[in-house]
């Protein structure tokens, strides 16, 4: 088994290290040898508390050494870690609800929570050692398919956070594929920024451990301040990680852009050899600019259900596409251009908790998996074109892909985020635009007017709402933890508040 062996793998490279940078920029450094010994001690404490193979154990809290230590110890013990999203703060009184809702045997919290209420017996704070808890036992614990080793949750852009049952073989395949495609060596240092409750960040940690390379965990709030110090070699992140440089370059004098851009690349450190972006629409012009500057930025595409689906790699890349399908994956286009995948070793066996009612529509009986993404195949390269469930159908039956209209705005104004929708009860399209500089509102509206002149009446934006960019955060609920716009949350916040 792959994930069971990760703690033992640590002992193969005892001098290698992980770094955990805090918001105040203090850094905790742990060698793999130290992590191994700490994991073994935690395993003993959890075992003595009555936890064992098959138990569902929640892990809750922001990224920290305690989070990944708990994850590794639980996997080695044969438990099934349940990674509970922690974007918003919760008080102690809320924790008992997690134990009941997810039918957990125990819940491990990475740090003390606000509130005066004590923690339930089945809960322990990892900063208070030794861990002592009384497991909760439920008569209706979900039955997991064979091979399922952990549960993660989707980002919730569809309105619910699906519980995804990840298998040992699927996780191993994603790690092995990445190690080969990226040629990871012990000289590499993988950057981890997004929450551990997002499975991609855990998998990156497993990749580091299995290949013997270093890993560095940095809070997103201080990422750019930390990068020059931590000097990673491999960076994966949403487009917002890279739009900072793109926007700065595009705002510079055209005659000086290239020279200044090459200098500004230092914000990512001097050792980066691979940059990957995805999980949200990727502006092709941004990728092209990075590559023109000599920076190794590539688009990549995957899903938690499948793992990596397509990727660009040095020597086999095309800007504006997500790359060619990876080994073991076949991509075909279904109705309306929907991306449908056949994977030899998919990462997920199905859904649990929420999303179960959609499982049969996603995991087809013939083994194919429906992604919900729209795409086009161009000479074997996959170009993504938005989400199928975001397609707007007007009263007259016209189908509109909002991603195309949004891209038309965002390309013209680097750094701007836009969302096009048909508000409930409305007959005409409306658009929300988030601006750092309210003074650009008239310029944006004039651009949309020019766009409208090039479109059929059904595709014209009738109303434009300008909102402050600072409201577009994970904490506000308008962004998911993957930094995607939460379209349902925007609808509730903007159009149900009376704005039209």
Provide the mean pLDDT of the chain: 90
Please provide the CATH number assigned to the domain covering 170-344+371-387: 3.40.50.12780
Q: Where in the chain is the domain with CATH 3.40.50.980?
A: 3-155
pLDDT digits (tens, 9 = 90+) for 157-193: 544 678 999 999 999 999 999 999 999 999 999 999 9
Mean pLDDT, to the nearest integer, of 204-230?
A: 94
pLDDT digits (tens, 9 = 90+) for 235-284: 999 888 898 899 899 889 999 999 999 999 999 999 999 999 987 778 88
- Whole-angstrom Cα distance, residue 224 to residue 165? 34
Q: Is the pLDDT of residue 379 over 50?
A: yes
Q: Which of 204, 107, 109, 102 is nearest to 163 (CA)?
A: 102
pLDDT, position 489: 87
pLDDT digits (tens, 9 = 90+) for 286-322: 999 999 999 999 999 999 999 999 999 999 999 889 9
Mean pLDDT, to the nearest integer, of 362-388?
A: 91
Mean pLDDT, to the nearest integer, of 39-54?
A: 97
Question: Which stretches does DSSP call E strand in 143-268?
Answer: 148-153, 163-167, 189-192, 214-217, 234-237
Q: With the C-alpha atoms ordered 225, 226, 229, 232, is the resulting torsion angle positive or negative? A: negative
C-alpha distances out from residue 53 to 4, 75, 79, 403, 425, Å: 11, 9, 5, 45, 52
Of the given ranges (33-42, 57-66, 437-446), which has the lowest mean pLDDT?
437-446
Can you say how many angstroms the Cα of residue 276 is from the centroid of all Cα atoms in its chain?
12
pLDDT, position 85: 86
Overall CATH class of domain 391-495: alpha beta
Exposed/middle/buried for residue 483 (C-beta within 10 Å: 0-12, 13-18, 19+): buried
Of the given ranges (43-47, 115-119, 226-230, 264-268), which has the lowest mean pLDDT?
115-119
Q: Where in the chain is the domain with CATH 3.30.300.30?
A: 391-495
Cβ–Cβ < 8 Å for 462, 469: no
Q: Which residue has the higher pLDDT, 71 or 466?
A: 71
pLDDT, position 500: 44
Cβ–Cβ < 8 Å for 186, 171: no
Mean pLDDT, to the nearest integer, of 373-382?
A: 93
Exposed/middle/buried for residue 260 (C-beta within 10 Å: 0-12, 13-18, 19+): middle
Strands 338-343 and 368-378: antiparallel
In this prediction, what percent of the chain has a pLDDT beyond 90?
63
Q: Where in the chain is the domain with CATH 3.40.50.12780?
A: 170-344+371-387
Overall CATH class of domain 3-155: alpha beta
């Amino acid at each position: 088994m792959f994930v069971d062996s990760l703690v033992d793998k640590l002992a193969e490279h005892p001098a290698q290290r992980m770094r955990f940078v805090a918001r105040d920029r203090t850094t905790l450094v742990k060698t793999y040898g130290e992590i191994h010994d700490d994991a073994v001690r935690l395993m003993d404490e959890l075992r003595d508390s009555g936890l064992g193979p098959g138990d569902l154990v929640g892990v809750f809290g922001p990224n920290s050494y305690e989070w990944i230590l708990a994850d590794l110890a639980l996997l080695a013990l044969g438990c099934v870690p349940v990674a509970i999203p922690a974007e918003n703060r919760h008080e102690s009184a809320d924790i008992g609800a997690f134990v009941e809702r997810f039918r957990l045997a125990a819940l491990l919290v990475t740090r003390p929570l606000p509130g005066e209420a004590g923690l339930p017996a089945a809960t322990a704070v990892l900063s208070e050692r030794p861990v002592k808890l009384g497991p909760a036992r439920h008569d209706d614990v979900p039955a997991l398919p064979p091979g399922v080793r952990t549960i993660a949750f989707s980002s919730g852009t569809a309105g619910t956070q699906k519980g995804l049952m990840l298998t040992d073989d699927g996780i191993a395949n994603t790690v092995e594929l990445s190690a080969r495609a990226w040629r990871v060596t012990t000289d590499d240092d993988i950057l981890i920024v997004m929450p551990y409750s997002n499975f991609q960040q855990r998998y990156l940690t497993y990749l580091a451990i299995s290949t013997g390379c270093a890993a560095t965990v940095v809070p997103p709030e201080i990422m750019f301040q930390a990068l020059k110090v931590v000097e990673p070699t491999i960076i994966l992140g949403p487009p917002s990680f890279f739009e900072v440089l793109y926007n700065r370059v595009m705002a510079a004098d055209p005659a000086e852009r290239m020279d200044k851009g090459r200098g500004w690349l230092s914000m990512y450190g001097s050792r980066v050899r691979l940059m990957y972006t995805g999980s949200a629409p990727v502006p092709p012009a941004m990728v092209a600019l990075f590559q023109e500057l000599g920076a190794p930025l590539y688009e990549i595409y995957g899903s938690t259900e499948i793992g990596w689906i397509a990727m660009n790699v040095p020597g086999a890349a095309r800007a504006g596409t997500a790359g060619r399908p990876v080994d073991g994956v076949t991509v075909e286009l279904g109705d309306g251009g929907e991306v449908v995948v056949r994977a030899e070793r998919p990462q997920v066996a199905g859904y649990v908790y929420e999303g179960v009612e959609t499982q049969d529509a996603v995991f087809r009986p013939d083994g194919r998996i429906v992604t919900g993404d729209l795409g086009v195949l161009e000479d074997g390269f996959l170009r993504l074109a938005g989400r199928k469930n975001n397609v707007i159908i007007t009263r007259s039956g016209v189908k509109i892909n909002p991603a195309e209209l949004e891209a038309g705005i965002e390309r013209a104004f680097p750094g701007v985020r836009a969302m096009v929708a048909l508000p409930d009860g409305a007959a005409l399209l409306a658009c929300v635009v988030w601006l750092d500089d309210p003074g650009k509102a008239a310029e944006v509206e004039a651009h949309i007017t020019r766009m409208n002149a090039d479109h059929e009446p059904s595709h014209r934006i009738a109303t434009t709402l300008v909102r402050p960019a600072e409201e577009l955060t994970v904490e506000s609920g308008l962004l998911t933890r993957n930094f995607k716009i939460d379209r349902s949350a925007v609808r509730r916040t903007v159009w149900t508040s009376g704005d039209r």
